[in-house]
Amino acid sequence: MNAVRLPALAILLALAVGAFVFAETPETTTIETTAPTAYTEYSPTGDSGDVWFCVGPTSRLEGIENRTIIITNLADQANEGLVTVVDNLGMWSERSIQLETGDRLELRTDQLVAEAQYAGITIEAPHGGLLVEQHITASNTAGQDRQHCTTATAPTGQIPWGTTERPGTRQTILFHNPFQATAVVDLTLLGDLDTRQTLEAQGLVIPGRSVVAYELTEKLPNSLIVSASATVRSGQLVMTGLQIADGTTPSGLQGLALTTSSLTLSGDLFLPGAAEGQIHPTVVVQNPGDTTVELEIVIRTNDQENTVEPFGIMLRPGQRQAIDLHADGRLAEIGAYSIYVRSLDAPTLAAVAVNRQRETAAEDTPSGPGLTGLPAINYGATQWWVDAIGSTITPTTVLIFNPGLDSIATVTLTTAADYPLPEAFELDPGDQVELTVDADVIIGIGSTAPIIVTRQQHSPLGWTTSYATTLENTTTAITR
Protein backbone atom coordinates (compact mmCIF):
# COMPACT_ATOMS: atom_id res chain seq x y z
CA MET A 1 0.00 0.00 0.00
CA ASN A 2 1.28 3.46 -0.81
CA ALA A 3 2.31 5.84 1.93
CA VAL A 4 -0.31 8.34 3.08
CA ARG A 5 0.93 11.85 3.93
CA LEU A 6 -1.06 13.77 6.49
CA PRO A 7 -1.21 17.58 6.46
CA ALA A 8 0.56 19.51 9.18
CA LEU A 9 -1.51 19.36 12.38
CA ALA A 10 -1.44 21.34 15.61
CA ILE A 11 -1.16 19.17 18.70
CA LEU A 12 -4.30 19.21 20.84
CA LEU A 13 -3.42 17.18 23.89
CA ALA A 14 -6.32 18.49 25.91
CA LEU A 15 -8.61 16.31 23.79
CA ALA A 16 -6.16 13.46 23.26
CA VAL A 17 -7.92 10.83 25.34
CA GLY A 18 -10.43 10.48 22.54
CA ALA A 19 -7.61 9.45 20.23
CA PHE A 20 -7.22 6.07 21.80
CA VAL A 21 -10.26 5.30 23.98
CA PHE A 22 -12.79 4.03 21.50
CA ALA A 23 -16.46 3.79 22.22
CA GLU A 24 -17.05 0.40 20.64
CA THR A 25 -15.59 -2.88 21.85
CA PRO A 26 -13.60 -4.63 19.08
CA GLU A 27 -14.78 -7.98 17.85
CA THR A 28 -13.02 -11.03 19.26
CA THR A 29 -10.80 -13.20 17.07
CA THR A 30 -10.28 -16.92 16.80
CA ILE A 31 -6.54 -16.74 17.53
CA GLU A 32 -5.50 -18.72 20.59
CA THR A 33 -4.44 -16.13 23.16
CA THR A 34 -2.93 -15.51 26.57
CA ALA A 35 -2.16 -12.26 28.36
CA PRO A 36 1.47 -11.26 27.62
CA THR A 37 3.39 -8.32 29.02
CA ALA A 38 3.60 -5.25 26.78
CA TYR A 39 6.65 -2.98 26.69
CA THR A 40 4.48 0.07 27.26
CA GLU A 41 0.87 0.04 28.38
CA TYR A 42 -1.30 3.05 29.11
CA SER A 43 -4.12 3.27 31.65
CA PRO A 44 -6.81 5.94 31.12
CA THR A 45 -7.34 8.31 33.99
CA GLY A 46 -9.19 6.73 36.89
CA ASP A 47 -8.96 3.12 35.75
CA SER A 48 -5.66 2.25 37.43
CA GLY A 49 -2.18 3.62 37.94
CA ASP A 50 0.95 3.26 35.82
CA VAL A 51 4.66 3.08 36.66
CA TRP A 52 7.12 4.08 33.92
CA PHE A 53 10.82 3.13 33.92
CA CYS A 54 13.42 5.08 31.93
CA VAL A 55 17.11 4.09 31.97
CA GLY A 56 19.99 5.51 29.97
CA PRO A 57 23.07 7.74 29.96
CA THR A 58 23.42 11.35 31.04
CA SER A 59 25.35 14.11 29.29
CA ARG A 60 28.26 13.33 31.62
CA LEU A 61 28.99 10.17 29.63
CA GLU A 62 31.50 10.81 26.86
CA GLY A 63 29.70 10.97 23.55
CA ILE A 64 26.29 11.97 24.95
CA GLU A 65 25.05 15.51 24.43
CA ASN A 66 21.66 15.43 26.13
CA ARG A 67 18.96 13.16 27.57
CA THR A 68 15.47 14.46 28.23
CA ILE A 69 12.50 12.76 29.91
CA ILE A 70 9.21 13.92 28.35
CA ILE A 71 6.04 13.56 30.44
CA THR A 72 2.69 14.39 28.83
CA ASN A 73 -0.68 14.61 30.55
CA LEU A 74 -3.20 13.05 28.19
CA ALA A 75 -6.04 13.29 30.71
CA ASP A 76 -8.91 15.75 30.38
CA GLN A 77 -8.15 17.04 33.86
CA ALA A 78 -5.19 18.08 35.98
CA ASN A 79 -2.91 15.18 36.89
CA GLU A 80 0.00 14.40 39.20
CA GLY A 81 2.93 12.04 39.48
CA LEU A 82 6.01 11.16 41.48
CA VAL A 83 9.46 11.22 39.85
CA THR A 84 12.25 9.15 41.45
CA VAL A 85 15.81 9.55 40.13
CA VAL A 86 18.57 7.01 40.87
CA ASP A 87 22.05 6.76 39.37
CA ASN A 88 25.16 4.59 39.11
CA LEU A 89 26.83 6.44 42.00
CA GLY A 90 24.22 5.35 44.55
CA MET A 91 22.40 8.69 44.78
CA TRP A 92 18.63 9.03 44.59
CA SER A 93 16.01 11.75 44.92
CA GLU A 94 12.26 12.30 44.59
CA ARG A 95 10.04 15.11 43.41
CA SER A 96 6.32 15.55 42.79
CA ILE A 97 4.97 16.93 39.55
CA GLN A 98 1.67 18.57 38.64
CA LEU A 99 0.47 18.84 35.06
CA GLU A 100 -2.59 20.62 33.76
CA THR A 101 -4.64 19.22 30.91
CA GLY A 102 -2.44 18.87 27.84
CA ASP A 103 0.75 19.90 29.64
CA ARG A 104 4.07 18.47 28.50
CA LEU A 105 6.95 18.53 31.02
CA GLU A 106 10.57 18.04 29.94
CA LEU A 107 13.20 17.01 32.51
CA ARG A 108 16.89 17.12 31.57
CA THR A 109 18.83 14.41 33.38
CA ASP A 110 21.91 16.60 33.78
CA GLN A 111 19.74 18.82 36.00
CA LEU A 112 18.54 15.81 38.03
CA VAL A 113 21.90 14.16 38.79
CA ALA A 114 25.13 15.74 39.94
CA GLU A 115 27.97 13.66 38.50
CA ALA A 116 26.64 10.28 37.41
CA GLN A 117 27.05 8.97 33.86
CA TYR A 118 23.90 6.80 33.98
CA ALA A 119 20.51 7.40 35.57
CA GLY A 120 17.23 5.58 36.00
CA ILE A 121 14.01 7.60 36.17
CA THR A 122 10.80 6.14 37.61
CA ILE A 123 7.53 8.02 37.09
CA GLU A 124 4.59 6.86 39.17
CA ALA A 125 1.20 7.93 37.83
CA PRO A 126 -1.25 6.80 40.55
CA HIS A 127 -4.29 7.78 38.49
CA GLY A 128 -2.95 6.84 35.05
CA GLY A 129 -3.26 9.36 32.25
CA LEU A 130 0.45 10.10 31.72
CA LEU A 131 2.65 9.30 28.74
CA VAL A 132 6.41 9.07 29.35
CA GLU A 133 9.21 8.84 26.80
CA GLN A 134 12.86 9.82 26.58
CA HIS A 135 14.99 11.50 23.93
CA ILE A 136 18.77 10.98 23.83
CA THR A 137 21.15 12.77 21.49
CA ALA A 138 24.82 11.96 20.99
CA SER A 139 27.57 14.49 20.42
CA ASN A 140 29.70 14.74 17.27
CA THR A 141 26.65 13.87 15.12
CA ALA A 142 26.63 10.28 16.38
CA GLY A 143 22.87 9.90 16.29
CA GLN A 144 19.80 10.01 18.50
CA ASP A 145 17.22 7.75 20.08
CA ARG A 146 13.62 8.53 21.08
CA GLN A 147 11.29 5.94 22.51
CA HIS A 148 8.61 5.39 25.11
CA CYS A 149 9.85 4.33 28.52
CA THR A 150 8.75 0.85 29.58
CA THR A 151 6.05 -0.09 32.07
CA ALA A 152 7.38 -3.64 32.57
CA THR A 153 10.10 -5.48 34.46
CA ALA A 154 11.09 -9.07 33.70
CA PRO A 155 12.87 -12.01 35.41
CA THR A 156 14.97 -12.67 32.29
CA GLY A 157 16.35 -10.51 29.52
CA GLN A 158 18.04 -11.02 26.17
CA ILE A 159 19.84 -8.43 24.07
CA PRO A 160 20.78 -10.37 20.91
CA TRP A 161 22.77 -7.59 19.21
CA GLY A 162 25.50 -5.14 20.14
CA THR A 163 29.00 -4.53 18.83
CA THR A 164 32.43 -3.72 20.23
CA GLU A 165 34.06 -3.31 16.83
CA ARG A 166 37.22 -1.23 17.10
CA PRO A 167 37.69 1.68 17.01
CA GLY A 168 34.83 3.99 17.81
CA THR A 169 32.13 1.82 19.45
CA ARG A 170 30.85 1.48 22.99
CA GLN A 171 28.44 -1.23 24.15
CA THR A 172 27.03 -1.18 27.70
CA ILE A 173 24.40 -3.29 29.45
CA LEU A 174 22.38 -1.15 31.89
CA PHE A 175 20.57 -2.72 34.85
CA HIS A 176 18.02 -0.43 36.49
CA ASN A 177 16.70 -1.51 39.90
CA PRO A 178 13.95 1.00 40.78
CA PHE A 179 12.87 -0.86 43.92
CA GLN A 180 14.25 -0.83 47.46
CA ALA A 181 15.14 -4.56 47.58
CA THR A 182 18.52 -5.69 46.22
CA ALA A 183 18.45 -7.72 42.99
CA VAL A 184 20.91 -10.43 41.91
CA VAL A 185 21.45 -11.32 38.25
CA ASP A 186 23.52 -13.84 36.25
CA LEU A 187 24.84 -12.58 32.91
CA THR A 188 26.05 -14.66 29.96
CA LEU A 189 27.84 -13.03 27.03
CA LEU A 190 28.46 -14.34 23.52
CA GLY A 191 31.03 -12.75 21.22
CA ASP A 192 32.30 -13.74 17.80
CA LEU A 193 34.28 -16.71 19.13
CA ASP A 194 32.71 -18.18 22.22
CA THR A 195 30.41 -17.84 25.20
CA ARG A 196 31.68 -15.95 28.24
CA GLN A 197 30.11 -17.02 31.52
CA THR A 198 32.77 -15.78 33.92
CA LEU A 199 32.53 -15.64 37.69
CA GLU A 200 32.59 -11.87 37.41
CA ALA A 201 29.30 -11.92 35.51
CA GLN A 202 27.59 -14.38 37.87
CA GLY A 203 25.75 -13.13 40.91
CA LEU A 204 25.92 -9.46 39.95
CA VAL A 205 24.46 -7.45 42.80
CA ILE A 206 22.22 -4.58 41.74
CA PRO A 207 21.51 -2.50 44.87
CA GLY A 208 18.04 -1.15 45.45
CA ARG A 209 17.35 2.20 43.84
CA SER A 210 20.38 2.13 41.58
CA VAL A 211 21.69 1.75 38.04
CA VAL A 212 24.61 -0.58 37.31
CA ALA A 213 26.48 -0.21 34.01
CA TYR A 214 28.25 -3.34 32.74
CA GLU A 215 30.74 -2.27 30.09
CA LEU A 216 31.38 -4.79 27.30
CA THR A 217 33.85 -2.85 25.17
CA GLU A 218 36.89 -4.17 27.05
CA LYS A 219 35.43 -7.51 28.17
CA LEU A 220 34.73 -8.67 24.59
CA PRO A 221 36.90 -6.34 22.49
CA ASN A 222 36.58 -6.05 18.74
CA SER A 223 33.60 -8.39 18.42
CA LEU A 224 31.32 -7.64 15.47
CA ILE A 225 28.33 -8.99 17.39
CA VAL A 226 27.92 -9.29 21.15
CA SER A 227 24.82 -11.00 22.59
CA ALA A 228 23.78 -10.87 26.24
CA SER A 229 21.44 -13.07 28.25
CA ALA A 230 20.49 -12.37 31.87
CA THR A 231 18.59 -14.31 34.50
CA VAL A 232 17.43 -12.48 37.62
CA ARG A 233 17.84 -14.67 40.70
CA SER A 234 15.97 -12.29 42.96
CA GLY A 235 14.30 -8.93 42.61
CA GLN A 236 13.00 -7.10 39.55
CA LEU A 237 15.02 -5.23 36.94
CA VAL A 238 14.84 -3.23 33.75
CA MET A 239 17.62 -4.32 31.35
CA THR A 240 18.70 -2.21 28.38
CA GLY A 241 21.57 -2.22 25.89
CA LEU A 242 23.25 1.08 24.99
CA GLN A 243 25.19 1.18 21.72
CA ILE A 244 27.23 4.19 20.55
CA ALA A 245 29.25 4.22 17.31
CA ASP A 246 31.01 7.33 16.01
CA GLY A 247 31.61 6.28 12.42
CA THR A 248 35.32 5.49 12.69
CA THR A 249 34.85 1.70 12.63
CA PRO A 250 35.98 -0.30 9.57
CA SER A 251 32.31 -1.02 8.80
CA GLY A 252 31.41 2.68 9.01
CA LEU A 253 28.79 2.11 11.72
CA GLN A 254 27.54 5.41 13.11
CA GLY A 255 24.64 6.06 15.43
CA LEU A 256 23.06 5.67 18.85
CA ALA A 257 20.69 2.87 19.83
CA LEU A 258 19.05 2.17 23.18
CA THR A 259 17.52 -1.32 22.92
CA THR A 260 15.31 -2.73 25.68
CA SER A 261 15.83 -6.41 26.41
CA SER A 262 13.30 -9.01 25.30
CA LEU A 263 10.57 -9.42 27.90
CA THR A 264 9.88 -13.06 27.16
CA LEU A 265 11.10 -16.02 25.10
CA SER A 266 8.75 -17.39 22.48
CA GLY A 267 8.42 -19.62 19.46
CA ASP A 268 6.41 -17.00 17.56
CA LEU A 269 7.98 -13.55 17.22
CA PHE A 270 7.02 -10.65 14.96
CA LEU A 271 8.79 -7.60 13.54
CA PRO A 272 8.01 -4.88 11.00
CA GLY A 273 9.75 -5.22 7.69
CA ALA A 274 10.35 -2.49 5.13
CA ALA A 275 8.44 -0.80 2.38
CA GLU A 276 9.54 -1.06 -1.23
CA GLY A 277 12.82 0.74 -1.81
CA GLN A 278 13.72 1.03 1.87
CA ILE A 279 16.76 -0.46 3.57
CA HIS A 280 16.17 -3.98 4.88
CA PRO A 281 17.17 -4.82 8.47
CA THR A 282 19.51 -7.44 9.87
CA VAL A 283 17.57 -9.93 12.00
CA VAL A 284 19.55 -11.39 14.91
CA VAL A 285 18.01 -14.48 16.55
CA GLN A 286 19.22 -15.80 19.90
CA ASN A 287 18.54 -19.16 21.59
CA PRO A 288 19.27 -18.83 25.33
CA GLY A 289 17.51 -22.15 26.03
CA ASP A 290 19.13 -25.48 26.80
CA THR A 291 17.93 -27.38 23.69
CA THR A 292 18.73 -27.07 19.98
CA VAL A 293 16.11 -25.13 18.02
CA GLU A 294 15.31 -25.26 14.33
CA LEU A 295 13.59 -22.09 13.15
CA GLU A 296 12.56 -20.08 10.13
CA ILE A 297 12.56 -16.37 9.37
CA VAL A 298 9.44 -15.96 7.26
CA ILE A 299 8.98 -12.91 5.01
CA ARG A 300 5.26 -12.15 4.74
CA THR A 301 4.55 -9.90 1.75
CA ASN A 302 1.45 -7.86 1.01
CA ASP A 303 1.26 -9.57 -2.38
CA GLN A 304 0.25 -13.17 -1.71
CA GLU A 305 1.48 -14.18 -5.17
CA ASN A 306 4.97 -12.76 -4.54
CA THR A 307 6.29 -15.22 -1.96
CA VAL A 308 9.82 -15.42 -0.52
CA GLU A 309 11.59 -18.60 0.50
CA PRO A 310 12.02 -18.65 4.32
CA PHE A 311 15.47 -18.41 5.89
CA GLY A 312 16.16 -21.68 7.71
CA ILE A 313 18.39 -21.63 10.81
CA MET A 314 19.58 -24.19 13.38
CA LEU A 315 20.66 -22.82 16.76
CA ARG A 316 22.32 -24.85 19.48
CA PRO A 317 21.84 -23.86 23.13
CA GLY A 318 23.27 -20.40 23.75
CA GLN A 319 23.87 -19.65 20.07
CA ARG A 320 22.74 -16.69 17.96
CA GLN A 321 22.84 -15.92 14.26
CA ALA A 322 22.48 -12.74 12.19
CA ILE A 323 20.67 -12.74 8.84
CA ASP A 324 21.35 -9.63 6.73
CA LEU A 325 18.13 -9.26 4.76
CA HIS A 326 19.55 -6.25 2.92
CA ALA A 327 22.34 -8.32 1.40
CA ASP A 328 20.05 -11.13 0.28
CA GLY A 329 18.78 -10.89 -3.27
CA ARG A 330 15.53 -12.71 -2.60
CA LEU A 331 13.98 -9.54 -1.10
CA ALA A 332 14.54 -7.42 -4.21
CA GLU A 333 11.40 -5.60 -5.36
CA ILE A 334 8.98 -7.52 -3.15
CA GLY A 335 7.27 -4.39 -1.78
CA ALA A 336 6.14 -3.98 1.81
CA TYR A 337 6.51 -6.96 4.13
CA SER A 338 6.54 -8.03 7.78
CA ILE A 339 8.77 -10.60 9.51
CA TYR A 340 7.74 -13.74 11.37
CA VAL A 341 10.37 -15.66 13.40
CA ARG A 342 8.93 -19.16 13.83
CA SER A 343 10.41 -21.92 15.96
CA LEU A 344 9.92 -25.49 14.75
CA ASP A 345 11.00 -26.89 18.14
CA ALA A 346 11.21 -25.26 21.56
CA PRO A 347 9.72 -21.78 22.20
CA THR A 348 12.99 -20.35 23.55
CA LEU A 349 13.84 -17.60 21.06
CA ALA A 350 14.56 -13.88 21.27
CA ALA A 351 15.18 -11.68 18.23
CA VAL A 352 15.93 -8.10 17.26
CA ALA A 353 15.81 -6.16 13.99
CA VAL A 354 18.85 -3.91 13.50
CA ASN A 355 18.56 -1.09 10.97
CA ARG A 356 21.66 0.83 10.00
CA GLN A 357 22.72 3.39 7.46
CA ARG A 358 24.25 1.79 4.35
CA GLU A 359 26.91 3.21 2.08
CA THR A 360 26.60 2.83 -1.69
CA ALA A 361 29.30 2.74 -4.31
CA ALA A 362 28.05 6.06 -5.72
CA GLU A 363 28.49 7.90 -2.44
CA ASP A 364 31.77 9.68 -1.85
CA THR A 365 30.88 11.08 1.58
CA PRO A 366 29.52 9.48 4.78
CA SER A 367 25.74 9.27 4.78
CA GLY A 368 25.37 10.33 8.41
CA PRO A 369 24.21 8.57 11.57
CA GLY A 370 21.64 5.83 11.27
CA LEU A 371 21.24 2.99 13.79
CA THR A 372 18.22 1.44 15.51
CA GLY A 373 17.45 -1.81 17.30
CA LEU A 374 13.89 -3.12 17.78
CA PRO A 375 13.21 -6.30 19.80
CA ALA A 376 10.71 -8.77 18.35
CA ILE A 377 7.44 -9.25 20.23
CA ASN A 378 4.91 -12.07 20.50
CA TYR A 379 1.82 -9.92 21.04
CA GLY A 380 -0.51 -7.53 19.31
CA ALA A 381 -3.29 -5.29 20.56
CA THR A 382 -6.66 -4.09 19.35
CA GLN A 383 -6.11 -0.52 20.57
CA TRP A 384 -2.91 1.51 20.24
CA TRP A 385 -2.02 5.14 20.31
CA VAL A 386 1.03 6.82 18.87
CA ASP A 387 2.42 10.29 19.47
CA ALA A 388 3.63 11.13 15.98
CA ILE A 389 6.57 13.48 16.46
CA GLY A 390 6.92 14.42 12.80
CA SER A 391 7.37 17.77 11.09
CA THR A 392 7.46 18.96 7.51
CA ILE A 393 11.25 18.65 7.56
CA THR A 394 11.50 15.30 9.38
CA PRO A 395 8.23 13.37 9.01
CA THR A 396 7.47 10.30 11.08
CA THR A 397 6.53 6.94 9.60
CA VAL A 398 3.86 4.97 11.48
CA LEU A 399 3.99 1.29 10.51
CA ILE A 400 0.90 -0.85 11.09
CA PHE A 401 0.94 -4.57 10.40
CA ASN A 402 -1.21 -7.60 11.08
CA PRO A 403 0.79 -10.39 12.78
CA GLY A 404 -2.21 -12.74 12.81
CA LEU A 405 -1.82 -16.07 11.07
CA ASP A 406 -5.41 -16.39 9.89
CA SER A 407 -7.39 -13.26 10.81
CA ILE A 408 -8.16 -10.13 8.79
CA ALA A 409 -7.86 -6.88 10.75
CA THR A 410 -10.08 -3.88 10.02
CA VAL A 411 -8.15 -0.79 11.15
CA THR A 412 -9.64 2.57 12.11
CA LEU A 413 -7.65 5.77 12.70
CA THR A 414 -8.81 8.68 14.85
CA THR A 415 -7.39 11.94 16.18
CA ALA A 416 -8.55 14.43 18.78
CA ALA A 417 -10.53 16.37 16.17
CA ASP A 418 -11.78 16.09 12.59
CA TYR A 419 -8.43 15.97 10.87
CA PRO A 420 -8.22 14.19 7.52
CA LEU A 421 -7.07 10.60 7.93
CA PRO A 422 -7.36 7.54 5.73
CA GLU A 423 -10.69 5.75 5.88
CA ALA A 424 -10.93 2.40 7.64
CA PHE A 425 -8.96 -0.28 5.78
CA GLU A 426 -8.33 -4.01 6.01
CA LEU A 427 -5.05 -5.82 6.57
CA ASP A 428 -4.76 -9.46 5.56
CA PRO A 429 -2.58 -11.72 7.75
CA GLY A 430 1.01 -10.48 7.46
CA ASP A 431 0.12 -7.27 5.60
CA GLN A 432 1.84 -3.99 6.46
CA VAL A 433 0.95 -0.36 5.72
CA GLU A 434 2.81 2.85 6.44
CA LEU A 435 1.53 6.35 7.18
CA THR A 436 3.79 9.36 6.70
CA VAL A 437 2.94 12.01 9.30
CA ASP A 438 4.47 15.49 9.07
CA ALA A 439 3.05 16.84 12.35
CA ASP A 440 3.20 16.36 16.11
CA VAL A 441 -0.20 14.79 16.68
CA ILE A 442 -1.68 11.90 18.64
CA ILE A 443 -3.32 9.19 16.54
CA GLY A 444 -5.53 6.46 17.98
CA ILE A 445 -5.41 3.14 16.13
CA GLY A 446 -8.16 0.59 16.72
CA SER A 447 -8.59 -2.81 15.11
CA THR A 448 -10.96 -5.77 15.06
CA ALA A 449 -7.99 -8.14 15.45
CA PRO A 450 -4.60 -7.76 17.16
CA ILE A 451 -2.16 -5.58 15.21
CA ILE A 452 1.32 -4.14 15.88
CA VAL A 453 2.22 -0.45 15.53
CA THR A 454 5.68 1.12 15.45
CA ARG A 455 6.95 4.68 15.08
CA GLN A 456 10.01 5.40 12.94
CA GLN A 457 11.86 8.60 12.15
CA HIS A 458 14.86 9.05 9.87
CA SER A 459 16.50 12.45 10.02
CA PRO A 460 19.98 13.99 9.58
CA LEU A 461 20.33 13.78 13.38
CA GLY A 462 19.89 9.99 13.38
CA TRP A 463 17.31 7.23 13.28
CA THR A 464 14.80 6.16 15.93
CA THR A 465 12.39 3.23 16.06
CA SER A 466 10.00 2.27 18.85
CA TYR A 467 6.73 0.52 19.49
CA ALA A 468 3.61 2.57 20.01
CA THR A 469 1.75 2.16 23.31
CA THR A 470 -1.06 -0.32 23.88
CA LEU A 471 -4.20 0.51 25.78
CA GLU A 472 -4.65 -1.39 29.03
CA ASN A 473 -6.39 -4.78 28.71
CA THR A 474 -6.27 -4.88 24.88
CA THR A 475 -2.96 -6.78 24.54
CA THR A 476 -3.11 -10.34 23.21
CA ALA A 477 -0.49 -13.00 22.51
CA ILE A 478 -0.22 -14.23 18.92
CA THR A 479 0.29 -17.98 18.74
CA ARG A 480 -0.28 -20.83 16.34
User: What are the residue ranges spanned by the domains of the chain?
Assistant: 1-39+377-480, 48-139, 156-260, 268-367
> Is the predicted pLDDT of residue 2 greater than 90, yes or no?
no
**Strand order across the beta sheet in which 311-315 lies:** 268-272, 337-343, 293-301, 311-315
Structure confidence at residue 194 (pLDDT): 62
Structure confidence at residue 278 (pLDDT): 78
Task: Tell me how far apart the alpha carbons of residues 198 and 189 are, in angstroms, rounded to a whole number.
Answer: 9
> Is the predicted pLDDT of residue 324 greater than 70, yes or no?
yes
Question: Which CATH fold topology does 48-139 show?
Answer: Hypothetical Protein Tm1070; Chain: A (2.60.290)
Instruction: Of 131-145, 232-246, 275-289, 298-312, give the range with the top mean pLDDT.
Output: 232-246
**Percent with pLDDT over 90 in the chain:** 67
Written out in words, the top-level CATH class of the domain with range 1-39+377-480 is mainly beta
DSSP state, residue 408: -
Structure confidence at residue 3 (pLDDT): 45
| Residue of 371, 386, 389, 392 whose CA lies nearest to 463 | 371
Residue of 431 and 331 predicted with greater confidence: 431
pLDDT tens digit sequence for 365-417? 446 789 999 999 999 999 998 998 888 899 999 999 999 989 999 999 998 76
Per-chain mean pLDDT for the chain? 87
- Assign 335 a pLDDT band (cuts: 50, 70, 90): confident
Structure confidence at residue 328 (pLDDT): 81
Question: Which CATH fold topology does 268-367 show?
Answer: Hypothetical Protein Tm1070; Chain: A (2.60.290)
| Mean pLDDT on 194-215 | 85
pLDDT tens digit sequence for 262-315? 988 999 999 999 876 678 999 999 999 999 999 999 999 988 778 899 999 999
CATH assignment of 156-260? 2.60.290.11
Structure confidence at residue 359 (pLDDT): 65
Structure confidence at residue 253 (pLDDT): 92
Contacts of 160 (CB under 8 A, 6+ apart): 227, 262, 284, 285, 286, 320, 350, 351, 352
Q: Do domains 48-139 and 268-367 have the same CATH topology?
A: yes
How many CB atoms sit inside 10 A of residue 118's CB? 27
| Mean pLDDT on 415-425 | 83
Task: Tell me how far apart the alpha carbons of residues 40 and 391 are, in angstroms, rounded to a whole number.
Answer: 24
Predicted structure pTM score: 0.90
The DSSP bridge pattern shows strands 409-414 and 440-459 to be antiparallel
